[in-house]
Amino acid sequence: MKINKKKFLYLISPNKISKSFYGDLTKVLKSNKISFFQLRLKKDSYGNKLKIAKKLRKICKKYKVKFLINDDPELAKKINADGCHVGQKDMNISDARKLLKKKIIGVTCHNSLKLAKKAYENSANYIAFGAFNSTKTKKVKFKADIKIIKKLKKTSNIPVVAIGGINNLNYKKLLLNKADFLAISSYVWSNKKLKPIEAIKLLK
């Protein structure tokens, strides 16, 4: 999987998709800083997710951003997304790989080198560590220390996505400590001071 240093952002959708979201997303993807966009809808019906995913795939394709589906390899296959992201309680990576063949599969590894090694051995395309900071997006069960990225990089070259409360004040530290991509969500979509595109522009 190619790593473009200028496109270091891994954008995750808000929990609800409003009508205005598509326009905001288009502006943000035009910034040319986003490598991945992940659709993460926990409470929507399958039909609604399918409809939204089809629209978002078109937007992502237009701006050459990889479109991933959270927790649902079957939906990723159905709409021909670029891949999916699986958590530790979702479909295991071997089954997801059988379903998605050569598509991108990323795995949540919390704060565990053991889980990262397992994901790497099972041909994950990237692993996600976190949470590095407290976050409004979901309750933090696992807190990750920045040293874990450097430790993994000594034994593996698998791309690392850092997640959890990342914003314009703390993002550089993660990039300096060898995170390849930074996952952001609430900083962009729930920012009370900045519009989504303004929030993105502060991440240089």
- Residue 133's CB is within 10 A of a number of other CB atoms, namely 19
CATH number of 9-201: 3.20.20.70
Q: What pLDDT, on the 0 to 100 scale, is given for residue 18?
A: 93
Please say whether the beta carbons of 14 and 44 come within 8 A.
Answer: no
Question: What is residue 174's predicted lDDT score, i.e. its pLDDT?
Answer: 96
**From CA 104, how far away is CA 112, in angstroms rounded?**
21
Query: Residues, the chain, total?
Result: 204
Domain map (residue ranges) of the chain = 9-201
Give pLDDT, residue 4: 81
Q: Give one DSSP letter per residue of 150-202, joined into a string.
A: HHHHHH----EEEESS--TTTHHHHHHTT-SEEEESHHHHS-SSS-HHHHHHT
Q: In sequence order, which residues have a C-beta less than 8 Å from that of residue 200 and are 6 or more positions away?
A: 9, 28, 31, 33, 34, 188
pLDDT of residue 140: 66
Query: What pLDDT shows up at residue 129?
Result: 97
- Quickly tell me which residue has 């659709």 as its tokens: 39
DSSP character at residue 63: T
Per-residue pLDDT of the chain (204 residues; tens, 9 = 90+): 778 878 999 999 999 999 999 999 999 999 999 999 999 998 899 999 999 999 999 999 999 999 999 999 999 999 999 999 999 998 999 999 999 999 999 999 999 999 999 999 999 999 999 999 987 666 667 899 999 999 999 999 999 999 999 999 999 999 999 999 999 999 999 999 999 999 999 999
Sole residue written with tokens 């989504």? 196
